[in-house]
Chains A and B, each alone.
Chain A
């Protein structure tokens, strides 16, 4: 994989973060940090606010309290296009491609911030990474299969040459083998080459396998954090997923 596909990472950190819709917080008092060269994952049961957290970092959901910084930039409540300019690439869980545009055009939009001459070169780089896309360049993104779509979604964000990658459940709807490959080759690979990777995953065990640090969200708050090895031994960890513990309630609007 080309060293230049992602830039040297910046530190992404959030402190005292509360965010949500219509003035109501779905996540509260979040403190997380993701550093270059590491994969940081956020896991937790459904409804714990993982997606909302990511969206608030990249400017899609309003931050009600607290700060978000990337490197030296303060990006709290910055518009998504400005967050992209700073070098943060975000892949949403759904609606992750432009269905009426072709694969090539999706990639071109991914490279919107690049100069015109740089785009073909970068497209070639991304295609080296996802060779399957080479045969589909003229196909409309809406007609791709689930796995192909995800590849395109990741390819789009790579066009930006991001220094921070924020991924929302990248393996959702993927067959287990493809999911594993995505996580172990690509996601882990990005970090190994120096980027910062922040990942939300439903498949907690798979996420743990490739992570350097993991936060467990429950009820909109961080309930556990630690290195995957330590977390796996912690009985609270399994409980927080399979229910029964007071730490894992769904986000309440109190």
Chain B
């Protein structure tokens, strides 16, 4: 009977440790899109540090085989705190792998290789952590006062471990169910667009690496305090794969899924195999375990990639409009209710403040050039954009319009030339900084955050949210809640104006092409731009709606917003843009109103050449 109780205590501790680890990895992978294939080193690091901090000085009586201890013999909970801190610090060397430019699978492989190598290093370099033999006789907390082998102690330990796991659960939930969490998921879904809306992708990823690292370190400390030893054999790179399997099975992007996965896979598997009778080949059972884990990964990714408990759809609470059922796919665009758009007062909604009569130069480029492998796509383009006007940018295919826009917005670096914003040279300013300074751009191709609802897509763009930072998220709903409700209201109003209220809680990825374009425009507007750079915003939009949007843009311009629009549809240019700049073959050809341009021979030639 006693044996069973001891066993139960062990299971409780392992369950808690695995849950903490999976919760942390899930925040990195499932919420922030960080494939941390090196996760295990954070847990291992924490375990080693906790062990070292809790061990007493080297004593000859131990046989003298452990030679590296600091001997501080720190009292609990200091070793565990130290472990968490070390886990966080371990994240810092990997910061360079998580910038914007590296492909996700390449970065993941870099982390995997790091885990492999560090394991090798520790295994071979004895002075560090005693090499392959590892550290043993790690004292359990308070082992001086109480007997760690006693049943009561073990259950108490299990209790503490579970409490910690629960605290981690609530902490992580607080982080992810906040405006900051929305930004993380947006970054996961499309990091280029998140960056263009002002999110600092590198900082967000680094923060998640550190947070996850701290929790991983803590989980290692809890484990080592219970099993009293730790060696490289316990943390090969395959252990990370087990945790990934757990999350894939349980449900990435869902905290409860992470816990479920932890209980089913690392815990469940381990315990089930304990009860299999020993076979002729003792290596058989562990080997089959690994085979089963591999098959589990492949099977789930094929049949049920979202896991047992998929990520929940977030329905943002707001004042009840009408009880319209959630539409799950983009039905006919012609059903769009165009009624409201004329009555909307976007100026108030977007808090515009500019002086409508100031038409000074707000944005300029000086001999902007972009070449690619000897092909010059944009050549010495110097343009000036006036405040409070809608400037059109037109030209035949391949004229360099989108490339120029991208260089103005900062998504593409010029080969030479400068970009000046309000007189300052911002050529080397990264795109997310430009977004924060008020330069907002839209994209030609599908750029919605697919696994966020339409309403979440819109709210995520609103700048300067107090809950949209790591410290802000930690302070909880009481801190950012009221402001968030206001933001949600504003986004809902915008949605209603564009006639898409019934899609508020639908996943943005399921809308039709034209509807997604509208979401793009709405999102850009909510980002409170000082200057709006639109890349073919009306493509695929019903002509009537396009005109209504154009009317709204004119009202915005009249209130001081500056707009630059790349478009093909010359009728739109006619109606809304003044001035219009014509690009052809990478150079500025002419500038003026559409009427003036139509009268110019070289423009007609460029379009109809001849």
Contacts and interface: CB of A to CB of B under 8 A. Distances in A.
Contact between chain A and chain B defined by CB under 8 Å? yes
Contacts of A205: 605, 608-610
B569 A253 contact: no
A173 B598 CA distance: 22
Contact of A250 (B397, B569, B594): B569
Contacts of A244: 570-571, 574
Interface stretch (B96-104, B180-188, B540-548): B540-548
B608 A204 contact: yes
Interface string B498-516: 0000000000000011100
A251 to B, nearest CB: 7
Contacts of A169: 397-398
A3 to B, nearest CB: 31
Given A24-B513, A251-B540, A243 B373 contact: no
A179 B536 CA distance: 27
A47 B569 contact: yes
Interface in A199-254: 202-206, 209, 238, 241-244, 248-254
A249 B569 contact: yes
B158 to A, nearest CB: 52
A202 B610 contact: no
Contact of A241 (B512, B541, B594, B608): B608
A211 B538 CA distance: 32
Nearest to A202: B396
Nearest to A171: B609
B338 to A, nearest CB: 14
Contacts of B398: 93, 169, 172-173
A253 B513 contact: yes
B548 to A, nearest CB: 15
Nearest to A22: B513
A119 to B, nearest CB: 28
Interface string B368-399: 00000111000000000000000000001110
A170 interface: no
B542 A252 contact: yes
Nearest to A175: B585
Contacts of B594: 243
A243 B540 contact: no
B374 A250 contact: no
B146 to A, nearest CB: 65
A143 interface: yes
B486 interface: no
A24 B333 CA distance: 13
B573 A254 contact: no
Residue among A47, A143, A145, A251 with the most chain B CB within 10 A?
A: A47
Contact of B571 (A143, A243, A253): A243
A24 B329 CA distance: 14
Contacts of B608: 203-205, 238, 241
Interface string B103-132: 000000000000000000000000000000
Interface in B549-588: 568-574, 585
* Interface size, B (range): 35 or more
Contacts of A252: 333, 514, 540-543
Nearest to B540: A253
A99 B374 CA distance: 12
Nearest to A47: B568
Nearest to A145: B374
A13 interface: no
Contacts of A179: 609
A176 B605 CA distance: 11
Interface string A19-54: 000001000000000000000000001110000000
Contact of B607 (A173, A209, A242): A242
Contacts of B540: 250-253
B332 A254 contact: yes
A236 to B, nearest CB: 14
A146 interface: yes
A244 B574 CA distance: 8
A121 interface: no
Nearest to A144: B374
B569 to A, nearest CB: 5
B334 A243 contact: no
B344 interface: no
A142 interface: yes
A143 B375 CA distance: 9
Given A24-B513, A143-B374, A203 B568 contact: no
Contacts of B598: 242
Nearest to A99: B373
Interface in B398-454: 398
B9 to A, nearest CB: 55
Contacts of B334: 254
B570 A242 contact: yes
Contacts of B609: 176, 179, 202-206
B542 to A, nearest CB: 6
A253 B397 contact: no
A253 B514 contact: yes
A40 B604 CA distance: 23
Contacts of A253: 333, 512-514, 540
A254 B374 CA distance: 41
A242 B573 CA distance: 10
B539 interface: yes
A191 B512 CA distance: 42
B242 to A, nearest CB: 37
Nearest to B568: A46
A176 B606 CA distance: 10
Nearest to A254: B333
A11 B541 CA distance: 36
B445 to A, nearest CB: 11
A249 B543 contact: yes
Nearest to A50: B397
A143 B539 contact: no
A202 B514 CA distance: 25
B519 to A, nearest CB: 14
A172 B512 CA distance: 31
Contacts of B375: 145-146, 173
Nearest to B376: A146
Contacts of B333: 252-254
Interface of A: 24, 45-47, 93, 99, 142-146, 169, 172-173, 176, 179, 202-206, 209, 238, 241-244, 248-254
22 contacts: A24-B512, A45-B570, A46-B396, A47-B569, A145-B374, A169-B397, A169-B398, A176-B609, A202-B609, A203-B608, A205-B609, A242-B570, A242-B604, A243-B572, A249-B569, A250-B568, A250-B569, A252-B333, A252-B540, A252-B542, A253-B540, A254-B542
Across the A-B interface, give the 6 residue pairs with the lowest CB-CB distance, nearest first: A243-B570, A205-B610, A46-B568, A203-B609, A243-B571, A253-B513
Interface of B: 332-334, 373-375, 396-398, 512-514, 536, 538-543, 568-574, 585, 594, 598, 604-605, 607-610
